[in-house]
Amino acid sequence: MSPHEMDDELTHDERTMFAALSREREPGRLLEERTVRALRERGVLHAPAGAGRRVLRFPAAWISGAVAAGIALFLGGLATGQYLGARHASEMVSAVQRQDAQTAALLVQQTGTAYVQALSRLSQVSDTTRGTNRQGGEVAQQMLRQAASEVVRINPNDPVASGILAVFDRAGAARTPAQRDSAGRQSVVWF
Amino acid sequence: MRIETAPVTDQALAEALQQRGDERAFRDLYARHTPRLFQVVLRVLGGSEHDAEDVVQETWIRATEKLDGFRWEAAFGTWLTGIGLNVARQLLRKRGRWVEMDDAPEPWRPPPNDGDRIDLERAIALLPAGYRTVLVLHDVEGYRHEEIGEMLGIAPGTSKSQLFNARRSLRLALEPAKGRTHEPA
């Protein structure tokens, strides 16, 4: 092929077609980041100072206001917490106290029932065991007197308890010294 | 009054990149030259965007490594395109699609034509890689045969003969199929 033969020129239409072709084209968006990363890994690139960080600058007045608002918010939260905590604690104490009173009343009821049942049982066996019967009776009286004392302590104007204690006092004064000594030797078993 | 500021030159950006590893300078250079580089490489590779992106990335890596040796006697874009062409050629050679250039025509058959005209972009993509490269550089990008010879490491005369064969093949691919069968170029 001679140089003359190779010297063919583009036609006008062909030139127009070539001129219409795009000269630039954007690659995928990730290519730049991929390339930058590869160059960083090779130590060619160093990230610019502050890259990836945003430095925010605030005026002094804005900072003061923000600090004051923060303190107010903190103190408000603290006071609210204390109020709620105190209210909760007093409610807890009241509940415990209520629960204690209910428990004590239930205990009185249970032990009172047991006391009466024990006396009933004692009366059934009184014919065969005389000594034990007498001892049981004394214990029952002591318990009755102690119970009456406690009821008077709860309610000093309670007429029934006051009457029981008065009867015990009169009976005690009427005893002979020998009977009092005998009573002092009683071995009372407390449960 | 509006004050125009002179754009930072490629050389100033390249120096910032070289001396300080300045990432912003690199991104500026990348933004300026990548769209053109990508389009050239894409055409040379025959339209594979994925391959073209890989080639562009590798081109920038090699360019930053060789920046010390660049004397600024040619335009930065031309130098970068030369590197990109070498990377693309290596990829094509690796895949067995690159035949070393000489004055002899490459074996090539025009595509089977079903009567419809194909557009220029498609016709270029169907050319053999060597023809396509020279045609893209000369007729699309406007490089002279001496520049093409330097970029591809071939004689200017070889570039001319490649272009001649490329144009002839292109015309065959573009002409309507009037009784044309598969015949070698």
Question: Which has more confidence, B96 or B44?
Answer: B44
In a domain, A72, yes or no: yes
Question: Average pLDDT of B87-106?
Answer: 81
| pLDDT for res A155 | 79
> Nearest to residue B167, comparing CAs of B128, B111, B118?
B128
Average pLDDT, chain A: 75
In a domain, A154, yes or no: yes
Query: Are B65 and B6 within one domain?
Result: yes
| pLDDT for res B110 | 65
Q: Which residues pair with B22 in a beta bridge?
A: A46
Query: Are B76 and B118 within one domain?
Result: no
CATH number of the domain that residue B171 is part of = 1.10.10.10
Instruction: Look at the alpha carbons of A102, A103, A105, A109 in this order and tell me if their dihedral is positive or negative.
Output: positive
Query: Are A117 and A136 within one domain?
Result: no
The pair of three-digit structure tokens given for residue A127, joined into one six-digit string: 């014919």
| pLDDT for res A188 | 47
Angstrom distance (rounded) from CA B20 to CA B70: 17
| pLDDT for res A49 | 62
Query: Are A171 and A148 within one domain?
Result: yes
Query: Are B9 and B93 within one domain?
Result: yes
Residue A105 confidence (pLDDT) above 50: yes
Contact (CB<8Å) A23/B39: yes
> Nearest to residue B48, comparing CAs of B115, B108, B114, B132?
B132
Determine the residue type at A24.
E
The pair of three-digit structure tokens given for residue B34, joined into one six-digit string: 């990548």
Q: What angle do CA B96, B77, A35 make, to 5 degrees?
A: 65
Chain A, 2 to 41: residues with Cβ < 8 Å from chain B are: 3, 5-6, 8, 10, 17-18, 20-28, 31-32, 34-36, 38-40
Domain's final residue, options B43, B72, B98:
B98
Residue B111 confidence (pLDDT) above 70: no
Query: Are B42 and B56 within one domain?
Result: yes
Residue B19 confidence (pLDDT) above 50: yes
In a domain, A28, yes or no: no
Number of domains, chain A:
2
Domain's final residue, options A84, A108, A124:
A124
What separation in angstroms does the CA of B120 have from each of A6, A98, A107, A125, B8? 21, 97, 106, 127, 37
Q: Is B175 on the interface with A (CB under 8 A)?
A: no
In a domain, A189, yes or no: no
The pair of three-digit structure tokens given for residue B47, joined into one six-digit string: 């339209």
For residue B36, give the nearest of A23, A42, A51 by CB distance: A23
CA distance A13 to chain B (A): 12
| pLDDT for res A100 | 79
| pLDDT for res A7 | 58
Number of CB atoms found within 10 A of residue A69's CB: 10
Q: Which of A7-11, A118-122, B100-104, B128-132 has the highest mean pLDDT?
A: B128-132
Q: How many residues does chain B have?
A: 185
Query: Are B124 and B145 within one domain?
Result: yes
Query: Are A113 and A73 within one domain?
Result: yes
Query: Are B120 and B156 within one domain?
Result: yes
Contact (CB<8Å) A27/B53: yes
Residue A103 confidence (pLDDT) above 60: yes
Indicate the range of A32-41, A92-101, B38-47 predicted with least confidence.
Answer: A92-101
The pair of three-digit structure tokens given for residue B120, joined into one six-digit string: 């220029």
For residue A35, give the nearest of B17, B35, B57 by CB distance: B57
8 Å CB contact between B28 and B13: yes
Phi and psi (nearest 5°) for A46?
A: -120, 135
Phi and psi (nearest 5°) for A162?
A: -60, -40
Q: At what angle do helices B76-94 and B23-44 cross, to 10 degrees?
A: 50
Angstrom distance (rounded) from CA A34 to CA B54: 10
The pair of three-digit structure tokens given for residue B165, joined into one six-digit string: 């064969």
| pLDDT for res B85 | 96
| pLDDT for res A72 | 82
Question: Which has more confidence, B183 or B159?
Answer: B159
For residue B26, give the nearest of A34, A45, A51 by CB distance: A45
Query: Are B10 and B90 within one domain?
Result: yes
Residue B23 confidence (pLDDT) above 60: yes
Closest chain A residue to B121, measured at CA: A21
For A70-80, what is each residue's pLDDT tens digit?
Answer: 788 888 887 87
Name the percent of chain B in helix, strand, coil, to the closest 5: 65, 0, 35
Determine the residue type at B68.
D
Query: Are A134 and A120 within one domain?
Result: no
Residue A83 confidence (pLDDT) above 80: no
Residue A164 confidence (pLDDT) above 50: yes
Domain's final residue, options B98, B116, B151:
B98
CA distance B22 to chain A (A): 6
> Sorting pLDDT into bands at 50, 70 and 90, what band is B182?
very low
Q: Which of A19-28, B101-110, B115-124 has the highest mean pLDDT?
A: A19-28
Query: Are B22 and B88 within one domain?
Result: yes
Domain's final residue, options B76, B98, B120:
B98
Q: Domain span at residue A110?
A: 66-124
Contact (CB<8Å) A27/B65: no
Task: Give the helix/strand (H/E) hosting B44.
Answer: helix B23-44
Residue A52 confidence (pLDDT) above 70: no
Angstrom distance (rounded) from CA B38 to CA A24: 7
Number of domains, chain B:
2
Q: Could you report the predicted ipTM of this complex, rounded to two decimals?
A: 0.84
Kindly list the residues from chain A whose CB atom is less than 8 angstroms away from the CB atom of residue B163.
Answer: 6
> Sorting pLDDT into bands at 50, 70 and 90, what band is A50?
low
Residue A3 confidence (pLDDT) above 60: no
Query: Are B5 and B80 within one domain?
Result: yes
Angstrom distance (rounded) from CA B38 to CA A160: 112
Place of tokens 């104007």: A157
Domain's final residue, options A88, A106, A124:
A124
Determine the residue type at B9.
T
8 Å CB contact between B87 and B59: yes
| pLDDT for res B178 | 46
> Sorting pLDDT into bands at 50, 70 and 90, what band is A4?
very low
Determine the residue type at B33.
H
In a domain, A70, yes or no: yes
Query: Are B104 and B158 within one domain?
Result: yes
Query: Are B29 and B90 within one domain?
Result: yes
DSSP A78-145: HHHHHHHHHHHHHHHHHHHHHHHHHHHHHHHHHHHHHHHHHHHHHHHTTTT-HHHHHHHHHHHHHHHH
Q: How many residues does chain A have?
A: 191
For B133-179, what is each residue's pLDDT tens digit?
Answer: 999 999 999 999 999 999 899 999 999 999 999 999 999 888 765 44
The pair of three-digit structure tokens given for residue B148, joined into one six-digit string: 């093409």
Predicted TM-score of the model (pTM): 0.58
Residue B33 confidence (pLDDT) above 70: yes
Closest chain A residue to B31, measured at CA: A32
Q: Domain span at residue B72?
A: 1-98
Question: Which has more confidence, B114 or B35?
Answer: B35
Query: Are B20 and B94 within one domain?
Result: yes
CATH number of the domain that residue B37 is part of = 1.10.1740.10
